[in-house]
Structure 1
Amino acid sequence: MIGQLIVLLAGALTITVLTVIIGPAVFHYHLLQTDLPVGSDELVHIERAYRDALALALGVGLVVSLLAAGLVTWNLARRLRQTLHGLTSAVDELSRGHYSTRVPSVGAGTELDSLAATLNDMAARLDAVEETRRQLLSDLAHELRTPIATLSAHHEAMADGVIEPETAMPILAGQTVRLSRLADDISEVSRAEEGQLAVELRPFAVHDLLESILREWEERFETAEVALHLEMAARRSPMLDADPHRLAQVLGNLLSNALRHTSPGGTVTLSATMESSTVVISVADDGEGFTAEDQSRLFERFFRADSARTRENSGSGIGLTISRALVDAHGGTMDAASEGPGWGATFTIRLPRAIADR
């Protein structure tokens, strides 16, 4: 505001100097071109009238300009100050860990509104990361509590002579394996989210991979009384430049997930099709399905769509997270779809075909 006033005053001073010094001289010169005698009362009166009218107009114009400029500048400065104060307060709250803070849009200009929107987006992301961190710690505590409690109880029972070591050893070994698997899963998902999972690419036929997966899993599906079908639309198998072991890990996670959420008598279908330069691999079931709200979180680590399912039987909750990271490492995409609870689910993987196969 002070800078604006300085500019206005400088302009007013310049106009005043020009009108007081140059204007009267020019006006006097033109009066001399008339027939009025020099020094006459008429000439003096005309020049005085000119100076008075000029001073009045200049004074009124200067006052109106200063008032208008001051009002506009004060309004803009106030809005700008409110916006900057809101931004400063929001950044201060975020720095103290209050990630639910948001900056209201006050219409202070496109740039500041864009900055406020960006800050709000960053705050939302930080809030989501913090929520994930809290959920992660909670899930880890829950995952660790059961095997640790089991190990502790059996050690105390053995120390008190309530249970024989030969009887307790299988249970202790099982819980130790569970803890080891959990540690490996945490390490795996960390490397997956950092993009550090190693893949060894080589050409292979998709049909060979799917038939191998079918042979590996059909016994477990028969035991669970769930039908497992393989559908391959193309007569000639498409080729992939990928890591067959990593893709087998992905499909294993999807089949395990489908088997867990499909009741006896249900059906799981493993299929492969071609779409131009893309190979589409799908795992579809007619089991529990999931809600639209759960769909956006399916690939989050440690998230389970069925929170009531026991931890012992529901896995560690990071299989889909690792699977998507592995598909991303191959330059593909992975998504999930369901029409709702009770209508089954379909997980779809899209991978680029081998260049030679195209």
Structure 2
Amino acid sequence: MTSPQRARFGTRLFLGTTLVVLVCLVTATLVAVVIAPGMFHEHLHQAGISGDDGLTDHIEMAFRGTLLRAWAPAAAAAVVVAIVLSWWVARRVERAVGELSTSTGRIAAGRYETRVDASGLGREFAELADAVNELARRLNETETTRRRMVADLGHEMRTPIATIESHLEAVEDGVRAADADTIGVLRTGTQRLRRLAEDLSAVSRVQEGIVQEGIDRIRPEPTGARCLVDAAVAVATPSYDAAGVALAATGDDIPLTVDPARVGQVLGNLFDNARRHTPPGGTVTVTTTHRGPDVVFTVADTGCGIAAEHLSHVFDRFYRADDARTRRDGGSGIGLTIVRVLVEAHGGSVTASSAGPGAGAVFTVTLPAAGPASAEPSDRPANLDS
């Protein structure tokens, strides 16, 4: 026999409502059989109808008979309707809860394509179904990103590890000497692995440190937009010269309050991304403008451009619009994620636009000139490599 703790929800709901109906029936019976005749007798006495001729008894008997004949069918009909309605409601609720339980179980088992249909039981159930569906959608996106991340990490690590192993085996077998060239190859492989580890650590610190703890790691101070741009350009110029890409800066030195190191990291990541996607002979231009209370940094390149279907994903972690090229140039797919998190931590926004493949791309960073409203200085380390 099923224990009360393990009884189905619909059964328990039906039994509960049936119990309420039965209690109401017992109460009504007590009123009709015990209380009502006494009250009727008192009214007769007050009206002066009393005596030993049996008239009072006859009237009271007639009242009881009439009351019972009128009350019994009404009570029976009410009980039947109440029980049937309770059974119907319990079945609908049980079915809706059962479907919700089954769907959440499938989602918990990893079937994130599962969706819950609205049961028609009211706004609360509809909102619950929407919440479960949104949870499944986000879990599906997270799982997709995780799988892509694992695949990317495997691909990123395979090449330098294979290079290091092959050269070490060659040195051990005497095929290669441990000269400067061999050491240089080994160092390049280890540096690539170190850069990947630093990128993973950086984006985790940015997202988990800044997002979860607020913006207390942002240390704003008064500075100028052009000053920040010129500093970032000076750092990026050697790599641009080596790649044969021109880097130009225009715009005024608009005053603003930001964390110079963080905004410098944002510009550096955007410059690095633009350089890697711009062929030799191309140009990358950074412009600073004033738009209401905000300062806008625009980084435009004449590179390979971005297809429309990729624009909404370029700031996702490990997302690559061009896997082959990005891997060849050493990108890990994390730099733009760090850009988005740092900009949002300043209370700003970043967007990407492109007319399509071959038409270049434009990245626009918008920051409030007054800085983050609730930012407070912090003495904790702020070194995040991109």
Q: TM-score, normalised by structure 2?
A: 0.78
| AA matched with 2:197 | A
Gaps of 5+ in 2: 1-13, 372-386
1:228 matched to 2:247? The reply is yes
> 2:384 is matched with which residue?
none
1:121 deviation in Å? 2.4
1:153 deviation in Å? 1.3
1:283 deviation in Å? 0.7
> 1:152 is matched with which residue?
165
Q: Give me the whole-angstrom Cα distance separating, in 2, the residues matched to 1:331 and 1:22.
A: 73
1:320 deviation in Å? 0.7
Q: Give me the whole-angstrom Cα distance separating, in 2, the residues matched to 1:330 and 1:285.
A: 25
1:204 to 194, 217, 223: 223
> 2:69 is matched with which residue?
56
> 1:109 is matched with which residue?
122
Given that residues 103 and 115 in structure 2 are in contact (C-alpha distance below 8 angstroms), is that contact kept between their aligned partners in structure 1? yes
Residues 56 and 263 from structure 1, CA distance in 2 versus in 1: closer, same or farther, beyond 3 angstroms? farther
Instruction: Show CA shifts across 1:127-147 (max 9, x none).
Output: 332332222222111111000
> 1:247 is matched with which residue?
263
> 1:83 is matched with which residue?
96
Given that residues 326 and 332 in structure 2 are in contact (C-alpha distance below 8 angstroms), is that contact kept between their aligned partners in structure 1? no
Moved more, 218-227 or 62-71: 218-227
1:223 deviation in Å? 5.2
1:325 matched to 2:338? The reply is no
1:59 deviation in Å? 1.9
Given that residues 206 and 238 in structure 1 are in contact (C-alpha distance below 8 angstroms), is that contact kept between their aligned partners in structure 2? yes
1:149 deviation in Å? 0.5
| AA matched with 2:76 | V
| AA matched with 1:172 | L
Moved more, 194-203 or 283-292: 194-203
Q: Give me the whole-angstrom Cα distance separating, in 1, the residues matched to 2:200 and 2:150.
A: 12
> 2:199 is matched with which residue?
185
Given that residues 195 and 325 in structure 1 are in contact (C-alpha distance below 8 angstroms), is that contact kept between their aligned partners in structure 2? no
Moved more, 202-211 or 192-201: 192-201
Instruction: Show CA shifts across 1:178-234 (max 9, x none).
Output: 1111121111111111125955433222112222333444554455454433221x4
Q: Give me the whole-angstrom Cα distance separating, in 2, the residues matched to 1:310 and 1:209.
A: 27
Report the identity percentage: 42
Gaps of 5+ in 1: none
Q: Give me the whole-angstrom Cα distance separating, in 2, the residues matched to 1:224 and 1:316.
A: 19
Moved more, 337-346 or 320-329: 337-346
Given that residues 158 and 165 in structure 1 are in contact (C-alpha distance below 8 angstroms), is that contact kept between their aligned partners in structure 2? yes
Higher relative contact order (CA 8 A, sep 6+): 2
Given that residues 347 and 367 in structure 2 are in contact (C-alpha distance below 8 angstroms), is that contact kept between their aligned partners in structure 1? yes
- Aligned pairs for 1:105-144 within 5 A: 105-144=118-157
> Considering only aligned residues, what root-mean-square deviation do their CA atoms show, in Å?
3.2
Instruction: Show CA shifts across 1:68-124 (max 9, x none).
Output: 111221121112212222333344444444444433321233223322322332333
Q: Give me the whole-angstrom Cα distance separating, in 1, the residues matched to 2:321 and 2:257.
A: 33
Q: Give me the whole-angstrom Cα distance separating, in 2, the residues matched to 1:288 and 1:58.
A: 87
Residues 57 and 263 from structure 1, CA distance in 2 versus in 1: closer, same or farther, beyond 3 angstroms? farther
> 1:213 is matched with which residue?
232
1:168 to 171, 178, 182: 182
Residues 341 and 57 from structure 1, CA distance in 2 versus in 1: closer, same or farther, beyond 3 angstroms? farther
Moved more, 93-102 or 243-252: 93-102
Q: Give me the whole-angstrom Cα distance separating, in 2, the residues matched to 1:17 and 1:211.
A: 92
Aligned residue-pair number? 350
